Amino acid sequence: METIFTKIIKREIPAHIVYEDDLVIAFLDITQTTLGHTLVVTKEPYKNIFEVPEDTLKHLIVVVKNLSVAISNAFNASGVNLLNNNGAMAGQTVFHYHVHIIPRFKNDDIKVELPNQMSTLTQEDYKKRAAMIIAALS
């Protein structure tokens, strides 16, 4: 399926490409949430992580790591957030698998806040949830 990212891969629309090999391509996210915000994208237009073959995923995560180091060094970042949205409800807007590398800087004013539900839960709730996941794995 054609996506905005396949058009970038085919050089039909411009992008600032920073890395490419047979399986993945990386280019600057157009929004530049922070300095150096980069997307690492599979060459094949898999919709989400559930569709990506294991070998491609293994390769991609190493590329994500290497690029995270390079981007951090290039801009003297203090940390990175790695973000991968799967599904519209999870915030995915381009349905072609990609991981965001978002470099972080002191006082960059980006808030990544996950609500804490601890106060509403018993140990039994945790046990049940863990058991459900373990059962689903088998």
Which positions touch ligand 5GP (CB under 6 A)?
4, 15, 27-31, 85, 91-94
Q: How far is the CB of 111 from ligand 5GP (least distance, A)?
A: 16
83 burial class (0-12, 13-18, 19+ CB within 10 angstroms)? middle
Distance CA 8, CA 116 (A): 39
112 burial class (0-12, 13-18, 19+ CB within 10 angstroms)? exposed
Q: Which is nearer to ligand 5GP, 14 or 119 (CB)?
A: 14
Catalytic-residue membership of 98: yes
Q: Which is nearer to ligand 5GP, 81 or 85 (CB)?
A: 85
Q: Which is nearer to ligand 5GP, 91 or 115 (CB)?
A: 91
**Could you list the active site residues?**
98
